[in-house]
Amino acid sequence: MTSTLDEPAAPAGPPGIDPATLHRPEGSVDVPIQIALYRQMVRMRKFETRAYDLFMENLVKGTSHLSLGQEAIAAAFGEAMEEGDYTFATYRGHAHTLARGTSMTGVMGELLGRSCGVLSGKGGSMHLTDVQRGVMGSYAIVGAHLTIALGAAWSAQYKGERRVAVAFFGDGTTNIGAFHESLNLAAVWKLPVVFVCENNMYMEYTPISAVTAVANPAADRASAYGLDSILVDGNDADAMYLTARDALDRARNGGGPSLIEARTYRSSGHSRADPGKYRPDAEVAAWKAYDPIVLYRSRLVARGVSEADLDAIEEMADGDVETATVNAKASPAPGADVLMRDVWADGGSSWRN
């Protein structure tokens, strides 16, 4: 997943998108935050690259959905969210979970179905959850978690807590009823919730444009719920961070929900070992040249951050991924003791006397 030397020069904006339509948030991002954003993205990238290798080795079983190429969005929210805020992710949620500080060993262990997994192997890659860090779950039925995020936001509002719920989802999700139910109710109840559509241009294999009545599947629907239409460059970590911060501030201060459409691209397939052959080569190449991490690294260097510092971040992430891999491989498979646990809040599963 490293960049090659003969890549075309990075385009000025996301490929195929009229730059005039993009939201340009005000303000700038301080260098320490930029470094944190870079660290987040690098960790996500290296973690998922390893997860893919382990899938190919049949150590990650079942399925796995990578967000390679989409890291700027999860990273930006990870940095912009406050402790106590709620994350609701999808089956493509490794990055969003790591973004809140969940241990790599816990996530890797879950992917490998080992005892050290954050869910003791009972959830798997599609259901990563770490309530202590505000990761309220990863959901594998398209659209469901948008409605669940409503409830977390509602409880924050009811209790007068200054927490915000953030729900991440894909472009394909804008065509299911739960999306529309959620936006309407969030708007009517003025809930502190941020809906983040990661538009990677594809559902599983079908291009979103082939099945959607509007060009921008989330942003063009915002007005139906009285919300601003926000289309942002999802591969620009700074633009994402500022957009996230604005939406979080607004929600935290009683301003109600936001809907953000972040344009991005997944550089890998939909899931498992999908090679993504349904996508035109030129499109793949154009987006590859617009990689969020490569772009960000040159921006940081241009801003005076030393290559050595950035290399150190990469090495640290390599080490963390290696440690997580070693830990997960060494961790035993979960035992029969966990099989029958946790159906009920008392830890049991009994349904009769």
Residues in the site for other proteins, rule: CB under 8 A?
86, 118-120, 122-123, 127, 129-131, 136-137, 139, 141, 143-156, 158-159, 165, 177-178, 181-182, 184-185, 188-189, 338, 341-347, 349-353
Closer Cβ to other proteins, 188 or 215, answer by number = 188
200 binds Mg ion (CB under 5 A): yes
Closer Cβ to Mg ion, 25 or 172, answer by number = 172
Shortest Å distance, C-beta 150 to ligand TPP: 18
Shortest Å distance, C-beta 272 to other proteins: 20
Distance CA 123, CA 97 (A): 14
User: Among Mg ion, other proteins, ligand TPP, none, what binds residue 40 when CB lies within 5 to 8 Å by partner kind?
Assistant: none
Burial label, 316 (beta-carbon count in 10 A; 0-12, 13-18, 19+): middle
Q: Which residue has the tokens 């860090």?
A: 133
Q: What residues contact 187, with CB distance under 8 A and at least 6 apart?
A: 225, 226, 227, 256, 257
Closer Cβ to Mg ion, 198 or 238, answer by number = 198
C-alpha dihedral sign at 332, 337, 340, 344: negative
SS3 151: helix
Closer Cβ to ligand TPP, 202 or 290, answer by number = 202
Nearest to Mg ion by Cβ — which residue?
170
Which pair of tokens denotes residue 157? 């509002």
Part of the chain binding Mg ion (CB under 5 A), chosen from 70-78, 83-91, 171-179, 273-281: 171-179
User: Among Mg ion, other proteins, ligand TPP, none, what binds residue 169 when CB lies within 5 to 8 Å by partner kind?
Assistant: ligand TPP
Q: Exactly one of 121, 170, 256, 292 binds Mg ion (CB under 5 A); which one? A: 170
Which pair of tokens denotes residue 259? 């809907």
171 binds Mg ion (CB under 5 A): yes
User: Among other proteins, Mg ion, ligand TPP, none, what binds residue 317 when CB lies within 5 to 8 Å by partner kind?
Assistant: none
CA distances from 310 to 34, 204, 318 (A): 11, 34, 13
Which pair of tokens denotes residue 195? 């809906």
Distance CA 130, CA 123 (A): 12
Closer Cβ to other proteins, 35 or 225, answer by number = 225
Which pair of tokens denotes residue 136? 């309220």
Q: Are strands 165-170 and 230-233 parallel, antiparallel or unpaired?
A: unpaired
- In the complex, the residues that contact ligand TPP under the rule CB under 6 A are 92, 140-142, 169-173, 200, 202-204, 270
DSSP 7: P
Shortest Å distance, C-beta 280 to other proteins: 34
